[in-house]
């Protein structure tokens, strides 16, 4: 029983420590990137509207991979692109038009009735959707970019880890005290 409790205790400690490291990474990378964080070469983007539902829900985070050759994208690919007003949009390609060296894409949100009004130039493509989605986690990332979020997500896991470490140390000291009491008691009985 004690061995399994120790294994569970070690697992919780490692999990809390990894959570702390991950939260520090999320906060720092989102500050450095000036937006959504990046992880292993993938950009994490927050879905702000329901235009692509049911493919992904509002508030989800999606992973996109920057494309080396935006002209190689094809119909049905889901892409993230820069709109004319410096806003990122993620929609599906419904038509590819090539005119000489220029490639343009007609896009449409899965939940929209009509295609987007303006064609997307290949040079405005930021990345291609990888198929990785975490529903509603975008709310956490948006919160992590706020001052309150930075404070909470950096401080709270640290406090939890410290509190858990304190409880573990208290239990260890208590076990040592029990062992000493038993030694003293056994020592007095033999005299």
- The distance between the two most distant Cα atoms of the chain, rounded to a whole number of Å, is 101
**pLDDT score at 85:** 75
Q: What is the pLDDT of residue 37?
A: 63
Q: What is the DSSP letter of 123?
A: G
The Cα 156–Cα 144 span in angstroms is: 12
Instruction: With CA atoms as reference, report the closest residue to 45 among 70, 84, 16, 78.
Output: 78
The pLDDT assigned to 94 comes to: 94
Angle at 131 between CA 127 and CA 134, to 5 degrees: 105
State yes or no: pLDDT of 143 exceeds 90: no
Residue 153, burial from CB neighbour count under 10 angstroms (0-12, 13-18, 19+): buried
Secondary structure element (H or E) that encloses residue 93, with its range: strand 88-99
The 10 Å CB-count burial string (b at 16+, else e) for 2-21 is eeeeeeeeeeeeeebeeebe
Q: What is the mean pLDDT of residues 106-112?
A: 93
**Does 156 have pLDDT greater than 90?**
no
- The answer on pLDDT for 17 being more than 90 is no
Cα(156)–Cα(27) distance, integer angstroms? 13
**Which one-letter DSSP state was computed for residue 78?**
E
| pLDDT: which is higher, 156 or 23 | 156
CA angle 64–100–127, rounded 5-degree value? 5
Pick the catalytic residue from 29, 30, 49, 84: 49
For position 187, what pLDDT does the model report? Answer: 66
Using DSSP's 3-state secondary structure scheme, residue 67 falls into coil
**Would the pLDDT of 161 be above 60?**
yes
Can 49 be counted among the known catalytic residues?
A: yes
Taking the C-alpha atoms of residue 113 and residue 164, their distance in angstroms, rounded to an integer, is 52
How far is Cα 2 from Cα 174, in angstroms, rounded to an integer? 14
Within 8 A by CB and 6+ apart from 124, the residues are 81, 82, 83
Q: What are the residue boundaries of the structural domains of the chain, listed by start?
A: 1-35+145-177
């Amino acid at each position: 029983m004690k061995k399994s409790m120790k294994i569970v205790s070690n697992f919780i400690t490692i999990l809390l420590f990894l959570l702390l490291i991950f939260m520090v990474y999320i906060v720092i990378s989102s500050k450095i990137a000036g937006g959504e964080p990046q992880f292993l070469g993938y950009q994490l983007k927050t879905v702000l509207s329901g235009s692509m539902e049911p493919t992904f829900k509002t508030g989800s985070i999606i992973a996109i991979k920057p494309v080396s050759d935006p002209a190689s994208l094809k119909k049905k690919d889901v892409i993230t692109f820069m709109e004319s007003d410096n806003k990122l949009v993620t929609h599906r390609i419904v038509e590819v038009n090539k005119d000489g060296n220029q490639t343009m894409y007609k896009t449409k949100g899965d939940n929209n009735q009509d295609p987007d009004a303006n064609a997307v130039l290949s040079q405005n493509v930021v990345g291609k959707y990888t198929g990785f989605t975490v529903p509603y986690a975008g709310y956490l990332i948006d919160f992590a970019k706020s001052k309150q979020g930075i404070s909470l997500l950096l401080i709270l896991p640290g406090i939890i880890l410290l509190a858990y470490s304190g409880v573990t140390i208290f239990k260890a000291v208590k076990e040592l005290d029990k062992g000493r009491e038993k030694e003293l008691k056994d020592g007095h009985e033999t005299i």
